[in-house]
Amino acid sequence: MRDVCNSGTLFVVGVATAIAVLIPQIVNLYLVIVYSNLAIMALFALSLAWVWGYGGILCFGQSAFFGLAAYVYAVSVINIGESTAPFLLAVLVPTVFAAVIGALMFYGRVSDIYFAIITLCVTLILYSLISSTAGPQFHIFAARLNGQNGISGFRPLNLPGRSDDVLGPVESFYVCMTFLIGCYVALKFLLSSRFGRVVVAVRENPVRAELLGYDTRWTRTFVFTIGAAIAGLAGALFAVWGTYVNPSLFDLRMAALVIIWVVVGGLGTLAGPMVGAVALQYLGNVLGKQQLANTGMIYGFLLIVFVMLVPQGVFPTMQRLISRWSLRRSQYEMKLLGDDISKGMQGR
């Protein structure tokens, strides 16, 4: 409990809660909808921040879980009508998928790089499969998959059990922020628990963890599955947010984006990637409106520059600069104190 209630965590939760409460009061509905999307992307980034930063598992295909959840929601809500079961299903399916793929890879002792590449392949294959589903023969009961055009116009979230009570933009924003803050706090609790400390140890030195008796394969599979569940939650929220899903959720760009957010925000923290996602997504929106340069070019360029110049990401670098500044201040103060003492000792 003590570990969770530290100043950093409380600061983040405080800021996020303030944002959640204040935003709908100060901005217009259109912006509330935009900010809901930013919250969803922050949640998506959080999932990879957990898996990669704390689990030490480099996953190139986190978008697979995101996209899968979105599609599962769309397909099931078209078939079922009321949104509660589809939403739960949307989180469950990628979780189970991750557990299976993860176990297959980790228990096979596949190396880190190979694991990363395989996950990339999984998301690309899902992209290929789903983008080739144009034509009426590709449907899951009542829901046509529509290939590149995607699925649109399905029901957004309604209050559980009351299918006519559909959530409006402000309520949806509250839902997104609640899930974001909730997952952040839940992960912080998990990290301060016995299991969480083992997770970090396995990341630090898997050989030593094994020699101490920890089954690193199981730990990693579990960490990976939790990350997929959070990514799935983000995907489900994305589907209800835009009521539109298409294969681009699985493509290379989506897979790259979430990695970029984590790298820029700061690998090894939970808050950094969330901020990175919000900042870069916002930047992307702004850039998307201009015609000067291709967005992909700018993103790619940014990524290269960031890794070359700020390899640990923005947050950790800022943290280091702040602590170095405060260390210098305290060293300076110690020096002043020392001078005073020596003056006193010389009887001046």
Partner 1 sequence: MTVGAPLLETQALTKRFGGVLAIDRIDFSVEPRELRCVIGPNGAGKSSFFKCLTGLARATSGRVLFMGQDITRADPCHIARLGIATKTQVPNVFDGLSVRENIWIAANRHSISGVQAMKASENTIQRLGLSTAANAVVGQLAHGARQWVELAMIVVANPKLVLLDEPTAGMSGAEIFRVEKLLNELKSTATIIVVEHDVKFIRRIASHVTVLHNGSILIEGPVATVLSDTRVRDVYLGRHSVT
Partner 2 sequence: MDLTLIICLDILNGIAMLAMISVGLAIVFGIMGVINLAHGEFLMLGAFAATVSTNAGVNVWVSMLIVAPLFVGIVGLVVERLLIRLLYGRMTDTLIVTWGLSLFLVGAVTTLFGYTIPGISAPLGSVKLGVYSFSAYRLVFTGLTALTFLVIWSFLKYTRWGIIARGTTQNPEMASALGHAPHRVYAITFFSGSAVTGLAGGLIAPLTGVVPTMGAIFVAKAFIAVIGGGAAIVAGTFAASSFFGAVDTLASFVWTPVIGQAAMLLAAIILLRLLPRGITGRFLERRI
Closest CA to 157 of 228, 95, 86, 89: 86
Q: Is 152 helix (H, G, I), strand (E, B) or coil?
A: strand
Residue 311 near which of partner 1, partner 2, none (CB within 5-8 Å, type-dependent): partner 2
Select from 41, 43, 259, 275 the one that contacts partner 2 (CB under 8 A).
Answer: 259
Please give the residue ranges that form the binding site for partner 1 (CB under 8 A). Answer: 193-194, 197-198, 200-201, 204-205, 207-216
Cβ(264)–Cβ(276) below 8 Å:
yes
User: Is residue 326 part of the contact set for partner 2 (CB under 8 A)?
Assistant: no
Residues in a beta bridge with 245:
151
**Dihedral over Cα of 185, 97, 255, 219: its sign:** positive
DSSP 320-346: HHHHHHHHHHHHHHHHHHHHHHHHHHT
Query: Using CB distances below 5 to 8 A depending on partner kind, what does residue 341 bind out of partner 1, partner 2, none?
Result: none
27, interface contact from partner 1, partner 2, none, CB < 5-8 Å by kind: none
193 vs 323 by CB, closer to partner 1: 193
168 versus 311: smaller Cβ distance to partner 2: 311
Options 21, 29, 129, 334; binder of partner 2; rule CB under 8 A: 129
**Which residue number, 201 or 252, has a Cβ lying nearer to partner 2?**
252
| Residue nearer to partner 1 on the CB measure, 133 or 216 | 216
How many whole angstroms separate alpha carbon 97 and alpha carbon 90? 11
Beta strands 244-245 and 143-144 are unpaired
Question: Least CB distance from residue 218 to partner 1, whole Å?
Answer: 9
Of 118, 94, 92, 90, give the one whose Cα is nearest residue 104. Answer: 118
- What residues pair up with 158 in beta bridges, in sequence order? 166
CA pair distance 28, 38, nearest whole angstrom? 16
Among 7, 25, 109, 346, indicate the residue that binds partner 2 (CB under 8 A).
109
CB of 210 to partner 1, least distance (A): 4
* 92, 307, 310, 318: which one binds partner 2 (CB under 8 A): 307
Q: Can residue 128 be called a binding residue for partner 2 (CB under 8 A)?
A: yes
Q: What token pair was written down for 166? A: 């559909």
> Contact, 194 vs 200, CB < 8 A?
no
Contact by Cβ (8 Å): 192, 4: yes
- Give the nearest distance from C-beta 1 to partner 1 in angstroms: 12
CA distances in angstroms from 279 to 28, 213, 290, 303, listed in the order given = 20, 42, 17, 14
Piece of 62-70, 106-114, 221-229, 338-346 that binds partner 2 (CB under 8 A)? 106-114
Tell me the number of residues near partner 2 by CB under 8 A.
43
> Least separation, in Å, of the C-beta of 246 and partner 2?
15
Query: Which of partner 2, partner 1, none does residue 216 bind (CB under 5 to 8 Å by kind)?
Result: partner 1
Strand partners, 166: 158
Binding partner of residue 207 among partner 1, partner 2, none, CB cut-off 5 to 8 Å per kind: partner 1
Rounded CA separation 160/166 (Å):
10
Q: Which residue has the tokens 């990290």?
A: 191
Q: Which helix (H) or strand (E) holds 103?
A: helix 84-106
Q: 108 or 338: whose CB is closer to partner 2?
A: 108
- Note whether 100 binds partner 2 by CB under 8 A: no
In the complex, which residues of this chain contact partner 2 (CB under 8 A)? 58, 101, 104-105, 108-111, 113-114, 116-118, 120-122, 124-125, 128-129, 132, 251-253, 256, 259-260, 263, 293-304, 307-308, 311
